Every structure is written in C-alpha cells, then in structure tokens.
Amino acid sequence: MIATTERVLRQLRHDPRTVVLLIAVPTLLMVLLRFVFDSAAEFARIAPALLGIFPFLLMFLITSIATLRERTSGTLERLMTMPLPKLGLLTGYGTAFGLVALVQVAVTSGVSLWLGLTVAGPIAWLLVVTLLDALLGVGLGLLASAFAKTEFQAIQLMPVVVLPQLLLCGLFQPRDEMATVLQWISNVMPVSYAVEALQFVAANPAVGADFARDLAVLAGFAAASVLAASATLRRQTR
Amino acid sequence: MANYAVSARSLRVVRARNEILHGLDFGIEAGQATGLVGPSGCGKTTLIRAIAGAQRADGELTVLGRPAGHPELRREVAYAAQSGAIYLDLTVEENIRYFAAILRAPRGDVDRVITEVDLGTSRGALAGQLSGGQRSRVSLAVALLGTPRLLLLDEPTVGLDPVLREDLWTLFGRLRDSGITLLVSSHVMEEAARCDKVLLMRDGSLLAHDTPAGLRERTGATDLDQAFLRLVAGGGPAAPEPAGSRA
C-alpha cells in the first residue's frame, strides 16, 4: 500500500501543473466568490457550503481520471497478475490523494478565513470535515472509474455524481424548505452531510451529537465507496 | 513423460459471443523457450493472457502445477503485455522500483534488471519520452524482477532494431539456460527459429507444435515463413474463424 501511495505521489511530482491546479483552483474560486458578494457577511454565510463542494469535486475528478488511466494503460492488468491485494492498491491511492487533499483544504480554508469566513467552532473540526469530504470525493472517484471505459465518459460522470448533490445539499435552498421527496433524496447524498457539518461548525462554538453523526456518515460513505470500488476490480476478464 | 510448465486441454476462450480460442491442446515443456507465432489477430495475446490468469478460459489450463490464475502463481509467472503496461509519467527507475516493491523483489534487483535490458543510460528518463522499443524494454525489465519460473512475453521485440533484437534473444537464451521457462510471442516467423519449440497459431487454433528444424523438415521449407504458408495451404487443423473475431 505504501509503495502505491509513494508511486502516485511521484507521478504527481512529475506533473507540477496538476498540483498547482489542485491547490490553487479551489482557493481562487473562494477569492472570486468573496468579490462576487462584495460583502464579508454574505461570503461568511455561503463559504462553508462551498468549502464542502470544491475539494469534493476536484478530488472526485482527478481520482476517477487517474484510476481510469491505470485501467486503460494496462498497468492495472499487470498489477492484478502480481501479489498485490486489491484493497491495498485502492487504499494506496486513497492515501496519496488524501495527502494532496490535506494540503488543498488547509490552503483553501486558510484563505477563506482570511477573506472573512467566521468559524465559531474549533478550526480543527473545519479541517476534519473538509478532509473527510475530499476523501469522499476520492472514494466515489475510485468507484466511478469502474463505470467509464474512456476519459470522455469519466468526465461526464462528474455532472452525474456531483451536480445533483450540489443542487440538493442546502446551498441554494435550505434542506428543510425543500419538497419532502427532495429532502429524502438529499438525505441519502453524502455531500449534504458535509455541508451541514461545515455550516454547523461555522455557527456553533461547540460540536454536538448531530455533528458527530455527520462525520460518521461522511467517513462511512468514503469507506463504503472504496470497498465497493475494490469489488469492481477483476483479476480476470471474461 | 515430459515435465510441463503449461498444459492445456480443450482450452476455449469465448469473448462477447465470439470464440477466440477453439479448444487448444498442448504442453509447454519446462525449461524451454517456446515461440508463439502466427499472424496478427490469431489469438496469441488471448492465449498468453489466459496463461497469465488475466483472461477467463474454459477447459483445462494448468500452469506450474496449478490452475491458471491461482494466487500462488502471482509470484512465479511474470507477464509482459504488448502494450507496455508501465507508467509513462514515471522515470524508468521509478517504474521498476514500484513493481519491485509490489513483488517484494530483493534490493539489488532494480539495478540487475536495468542492466539486463541495457537501459542504464536512460534510467532517469520519463518512460513517456522513450521510444517504443525502449518502453517495451522497461516492461520486460519489470517482468524479470524477482524469481519468476515462467516468463510470458507478448511481442517483446516489436519495433526494435536488429541489434537490440539480437541482444534480447541472447538474453532470452541466457534466461532459458538458467532454468526459466519462456513463452515468447511474435508475428515474425524467423524469430521463432531462435526457440527450442514453436507453437504455430492461426485463427484461434494450433497449426503445429514442433522444433524449428522439425517444422522445416515436415514441410520441406527452407524458412519458417514458407513452412507456415505450406501448413496453411496443406489445410492444417485450423477451424473456420467466426466473423469479426480478433484477439
């Protein structure tokens, strides 16, 4: 597993442009958002939700493309003929991208705080939620790559997986003001819990049971998607 | 009775309702280099992938005493696909180091295999910037890691210049002499002349399995290209190919 983590990070090191994009894009989007609102108060209201969406989206995208490349280049087939546990490969990927996500969310959150995001609760919890959220993107990206045969298809899975969650996560309309059916759908979408937890930590000085539940749901979804992704890896083709 | 590294009985592969291998029976003797030759699309890659355990097959396929794809074989069988199957965004050395770690190969192995495929001068180069022939040598180097007992090499010499091709065949000979069983595919008939035995394939069936000398003698041909043509013309045991099938 560690060998895979190291290998994925080495691949990224040979691709500095991707690293810069990964770290800089969510940060620049937050800066853009701040100037769109032109008011620190308005920014502080909406920023927590977006902090749950940008890292998720980016990690989903790069993970699904990276694993798809592994499938199409033949390296996955080669690894599958070697003594490497399937879950070890995926957790290796998860750890590598998790480390990248850690840097990404630290920079993005830091800049957001500087731009006027106010956090009533402990900042550490803000980082924990965004990291879990990014890991969720990694897990779902690993899983999604199984349903794409080409990079063309993989890109199109992004709107399928990400955009409905963006619409229903409570960013545009508070979740309890949506139609009941939409609330149900929103309730089974993991990003809703990330946004809820981020809004909670931004507004409340102390975290409670609801917050713990949100974290558990996020972690559970991330772990389940990695396990499901591992089930889609086949050592033999039919 | 010969000691077989690979033995197949009525080996069939059906993919997307196309039968690609039509019930093959053969045995590859341990400690020999066997050439797998035949025109493009005849099923060579499918056969090699089945032996490597990457392709599901019907019938009986025994590899080093175990059914193909058995977990114990993942250390003993090394498979180098034709497509390269290396990371183009890593250097030569980083590629080999990664696979060495997965195989838990001994420390000195990385340097050993780099020397064996003569890539010492480009070990720091990105694999994506290498020529096709160099890439296939990186892939071959990965297959040499650890202590494989069976090497499955799919078209390892394609795109190589004659000097390199000669070097590689010398290396294959050395590996064979060290006790490793080799199955090397090629669509160049003459290359098979370097092997102990030749498996001649056409349209998913075996046309012949003999020594190169035996093949020439049987067909009265002077070279293997001619021998192949004569076997085809003689109405070998090739089954009709289903429409649209390819390996």
Tens of pLDDT, residue by residue over A107-157, are 999 999 999 898 999 989 988 999 899 899 999 999 998 888 888 898 899
Output the pLDDT for position B235: 53
pLDDT reported for residue B62: 96
Which residues of B, range 134-163, sit inside 8 Å of A by Cβ?
A: 142
B69 touches chain A (CB under 8 A): yes
Is A237 inside any structural domain?
no
Nearest residue, CB atoms, B74 vs list A10, A77, A82? A82
In this structure, how many other beta carbons lie within 10 angstroms of the beta carbon of residue A106? Answer: 14
Number of domains in chain A: 1
Task: Give residue B90's Cα distance to chain centre.
Answer: 25
How far is residue B80's CA from residue B86's CA, in Å, rounded to a whole number? 10
Greater model confidence, A32 or B228: A32
* Residue A55 lies inside a defined structural domain of this protein: yes
pLDDT tens track for B125-155: 999 999 888 898 999 999 999 999 999 999 9
Note whether residue A238 is domain-resident.
Answer: no
Are the CB atoms for B51 and B152 separated by under 8 Å?
yes
Whole-number Å distance between alpha carbons of A75 and B119: 20
Tokens of A106: 């630290």
Architecture of the CATH domain B4-76+148-233: 3-Layer(aba) Sandwich (3.40)
A81/B77 CB distance under 8 A: yes
pLDDT digits (tens, 9 = 90+) for B39-52: 888 999 999 999 99
In the prediction, which pLDDT does B115 show?
93
Selecting from B15, B90, B103 the residue whose C-beta is nearest the C-beta of A83 gives: B103
| Whole-number Å distance between alpha carbons of A119 and A174 | 19
Q: How confident is the model at residue B247 (pLDDT cuts 50, 70, 90)?
A: very low
Among B56, B85, B90, select the one facing A74 at the smallest CB separation. B85
What does the alpha-carbon distance between residue A56 and residue A7 come to, in Å, rounded to a whole number?
Answer: 23
Pairing status of strand B58-63 against strand B66-67 = antiparallel
Q: In angstroms, rounded to a whole number, what is the distance separating the alpha carbons of residues A129 and A120?
A: 15
Decide: B13 and B68 in contact? Cβ < 8 Å: no
B111 beta partners:
none
Does residue A97 form part of some domain? yes
Write the ipTM: 0.88
Mutate which: B18, B58, B92, B98, vs A, most A CBs within 10 A: B98
Cβ neighbours of residue B60 under 8 Å, at least 6 residues apart?
B7, B8, B9, B10, B11
- DSSP state, B242? P
pLDDT digits (tens, 9 = 90+) for A38-82: 888 889 888 988 888 888 998 999 999 999 999 889 999 999 999
| Predicted model pTM | 0.88
